[in-house]
Structure 1
């Protein structure tokens, strides 16, 4: 029986894959190592595909089903309607580092900035919701034990220090078919101990994006999450 249905979502490159990988090492958790995007589908198809995940979790003897698709931040209310009792784990990360990282991935600084603002506006709107836990990537780096324990408690999972050794059993998240270099890099990143990715914006972020985050459109979000 599935007793908890969890969803990890938020802005990409904010640590969604990292926390999903950590939680997937828990003995009670079933997690498909792919971004399903299932709740962007026609409702009957979404429910059918999600039911397949539930059957797979039950077949594996797991009691917690966890799914990670960052873009599901745009479908939170829909998931609530279709999956009663769903819980949402939403990491946030300093917009300067996130936009710098997304720009390396997407090659478009403006698109990266827009995505951080759009997605985190939706995250902030969920602050205070009882079915949502929002945490900062930087807090996970500073105190991984306390942060992971808090998330486990939210999902009804027992916490064990061994969860922080998730990297000793490497997982493959990203296929090598479409973008082999990116996939290889991302798999390497998520299968290593928690690393401190803070401050890279100082050498990688453009001045225009920095100004937008500290003085312009992104300023209120940066302040709300404690980055200014």
Structure 2
């Protein structure tokens, strides 16, 4: 059995919370509610100093556990215990962050953890630096359904042009990952297929994860009461059975001009992923111009962040890669004890 971290990625409103719950229902896997500290901690890594120094690890652990922006409280972990485990653990950034998720899995007596955040699809290079043995599941949904759903979210304050850009970015990132990553690291799954035949799709996904299929993953209602915070009312559908009720609902939820724009800007990407176009009229020129400008600005912002990160990699105060799982340790050149399973070795540390 594997102990590799699992990350669920995709465009927002593509069903990633549903998949999180399906995975959390597996007897060996725990996937918590969305946290808000993994990537921000990575980008601030220089400010935390050399994590090989015990007091630096303590300071970082106390920030993760104490700052309201991190959502640590939703994991329901004991703060003092968490800080102590970080202090006693390896002096790398990934190890500090991984300890949080490992402790969450321990709450449910599960040996394996995952994390879900749609935007991770554009940050896989960072996640692989932190967790070099990680596996990624990219859930893909019809871009028109994602755009229509994003528009209705109370937390989404941008316009349809940004929503269209967000889906395009997720698909383009997935195309790059498919070319770059090994088959045992990156997996794509369509929301429509998952909701149409959840048992078959979860069996295939479990095979990718090197896990036995468990029927509980097909009906994750009970997991929703634990892994979806009550205040996230926009995830209310996850408290029921897996359903296809929202598939294709974009036809009634998008305005005509939005359908035309989606199909003209996203058409090639939609068809490449098995989605049929409706044959809507061509989009208005002013809408196309605005959408392309939006996409260009977002691309420029991503490039600036990437350049800053490349510079910061030259001045890192301590190692980044986690040293918690068996494969992470092997990749770092740490041999496993003889006659001891990786899982037992991990538990013993």
Same fold judged by TM-score > 0.5? yes
**TM-score normalised by the chain length of structure 2:** 0.59
State the Cα distance separating 1:51 from its structure 2 match.
2.4
For 2:208, which of 146, 154, 162 is the aligned residue? Answer: 154
- 2:251 corresponds to which residue? 202
- In structure 1, C-alpha distance between the alignment counterparts of 2:165 and 2:126, rounded to whole Å: 23
Q: 1:198 is paired with a residue of what secondary structure? A: coil
State the Cα distance separating 1:223 from its structure 2 match.
1.7
Q: Does 1:92 align with 2:140?
A: yes
Q: Does 1:5 align with 2:8?
A: no
- In structure 2, C-alpha distance between the alignment counterparts of 1:2 and 1:159, rounded to whole Å: 13
State the Cα distance separating 1:122 from its structure 2 match.
0.8
State the Cα distance separating 1:99 from its structure 2 match.
0.6
- Indicate if the aligned counterparts of 1:16 and 1:68 stay in contact, CA closer than 8 A: yes
Q: 1:41 is paired with a residue of what secondary structure? A: helix
| Equivalent runs, 1:1-228 vs 2, <5 Å | 3-42=3-42, 44=45, 47=94, 48-58=96-106, 60-105=108-153, 106=156, 108-128=159-179, 129=181, 130=183, 131-171=185-225, 172-176=227-231, 183-186=232-235, 188-196=236-244, 197-215=246-264, 217-228=265-276
- Indicate if the aligned counterparts of 2:2 and 2:210 stay in contact, CA closer than 8 A: no
1:45-71 deviation line (CA, Å, top 9, x unaligned) = 663233222244346432221110111
Q: 1:9 is paired with a residue of what secondary structure? A: strand
- In structure 2, C-alpha distance between the alignment counterparts of 1:103 and 1:59, rounded to whole Å: 36
Uncovered stretches (5+) of structure 1, i.e. residues with no partner: 177-182
- Indicate if the aligned counterparts of 2:9 and 2:137 stay in contact, CA closer than 8 A: yes
- In structure 2, C-alpha distance between the alignment counterparts of 1:97 and 1:221, rounded to whole Å: 14
**Cα distance change on mapping 1:156 and 1:206 into 2, 3 Å:** same
- Indicate if the aligned counterparts of 2:187 and 2:208 stay in contact, CA closer than 8 A: yes
- In structure 2, C-alpha distance between the alignment counterparts of 1:152 and 1:39, rounded to whole Å: 27
State the Cα distance separating 1:83 from its structure 2 match.
0.5
1:100-130 deviation line (CA, Å, top 9, x unaligned) = 0111112522221121112221122222532
Q: 2:123 is paired with a residue of what secondary structure? A: helix
- In structure 2, C-alpha distance between the alignment counterparts of 1:170 and 1:32, rounded to whole Å: 10
State the Cα distance separating 1:185 from its structure 2 match.
3.7
State the Cα distance separating 1:32 from its structure 2 match.
1.6
State the Cα distance separating 1:82 from its structure 2 match.
1.6
The alignment yields a C-alpha RMSD, in angstroms, of: 2.1
State the Cα distance separating 1:208 from its structure 2 match.
2.6
- Indicate if the aligned counterparts of 1:7 and 1:86 stay in contact, CA closer than 8 A: yes
- Indicate if the aligned counterparts of 2:2 and 2:211 stay in contact, CA closer than 8 A: no
**TM-score normalised by the chain length of structure 1:** 0.87
**Cα distance change on mapping 1:35 and 1:208 into 2, 3 Å:** farther
